[in-house]
């Protein structure tokens, strides 16, 4: 199901890009401050391991949330900014809450349409809880994404369907989990929608 959804999203975005390019529209001014927020359907593979055990993998679909802020460079195809992602798994014990803060570089390959490609790199934190034992661990987070901005209201507002893959690794957990030797990783594939504003 995830593979078919991915292929469908890529096909739709490619068709939109081709249509917009053929139209030979006016180049879009992307300079200035922008903010966006949205939600996604996320397929998560949350793996964690204790020393001297084989560990476990929790594969589950959840709703993830994202916010972004940044600056479009004048005369450039790039937007640079920060992105925050949040998702929780609370129906599997121990529950996991992931918070990822990453630097985001968004590139628009065609000046006249809204197709973009994005790279993310930063830090992630996972809070692990059983209700009795609580602690957190952090590690490197990275991601890639593709999306399309549909511009509204004199190009100040945007609706953006997107597809994103994010991952992070945690090296050691603190709090009540100190000394348990827990480490793990998150792999998350998302299909979502954001609403944005450019000033």
Per-residue pLDDT tens over the stretch 84-95: 999 887 766 677
- The C-alpha atoms of residue 187 and residue 174 are separated, in whole angstroms, by 21
CA distances to 8, 56, 61 from 185, in Å: 27, 11, 16
Residues 6+ apart with CB under 8 A from 164: 40, 118, 143, 144, 145, 146, 147, 189, 190, 192
Mapped onto helix, strand or coil, the DSSP state of residue 87 is: strand
Q: Model's pTM, two decimal places?
A: 0.79
Alpha helices in the chain (DSSP H): 2-22
| pLDDT score of 23 | 43
Query: Which residue would you say has higher pLDDT here, 110 or 50?
Result: 110
pLDDT in tens, 17-33: 544 444 457 888 889 99
Burial code (b: 16+ CB inside 10 Å, e: under 16) for 21-47 equals eeeeeeebebeeebebebbbebbbebb
- Residue 19: its pLDDT value, please? 45
Predicted local confidence at residue 88, as pLDDT:
85
DSSP 8-state code for residue 173 = B
Residue 180 C-alpha from the chain's centroid: 30
User: pLDDT by residue (tens digit) across 111-136?
Assistant: 999 999 999 999 998 887 777 777 77
Secondary-structure class of domain 2-198 per CATH: mainly beta
Asked whether residue 35 carries a pLDDT value surpassing 90, the answer given is yes
Confidence at residue 157, expressed as pLDDT on a 0 to 100 scale: 93
């Amino acid at each position: 199901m995830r593979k078919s959804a991915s292929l469908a999203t890529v096909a739709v975005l490619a068709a939109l890009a081709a249509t917009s390019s053929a139209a030979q529209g006016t180049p879009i001014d992307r300079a200035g401050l922008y903010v966006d927020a949205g939600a996604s359907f996320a397929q998560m593979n949350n793996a964690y391991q204790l020393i001297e055990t084989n560990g476990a993998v929790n594969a589950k679909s959840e709703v993830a949330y994202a916010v972004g802020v940044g600056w479009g460079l004048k005369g450039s195809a790039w937007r640079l900014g920060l992105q925050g992602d949040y998702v929780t798994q609370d129906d599997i014990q121990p529950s996991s809450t992931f918070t990822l803060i990453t630097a985001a570089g968004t590139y628009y390959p065609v000046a006249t349409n809204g197709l973009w490609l994005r790279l993310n790199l930063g830090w992630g934190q996972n809070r692990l809880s059983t209700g009795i034992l609580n602690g957190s661990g952090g590690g490197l987070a990275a991601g890639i994404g593709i999306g399309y901005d549909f511009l509204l209201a004199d190009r100040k507002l945007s609706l953006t369907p997107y597809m994103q893959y994010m991952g992070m690794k945690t090296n050691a957990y603190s709090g009540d989990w100190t000394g348990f030797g827990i480490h793990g990783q998150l792999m998350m594939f998302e299909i979502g929608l954001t609403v944005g504003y450019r000033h």
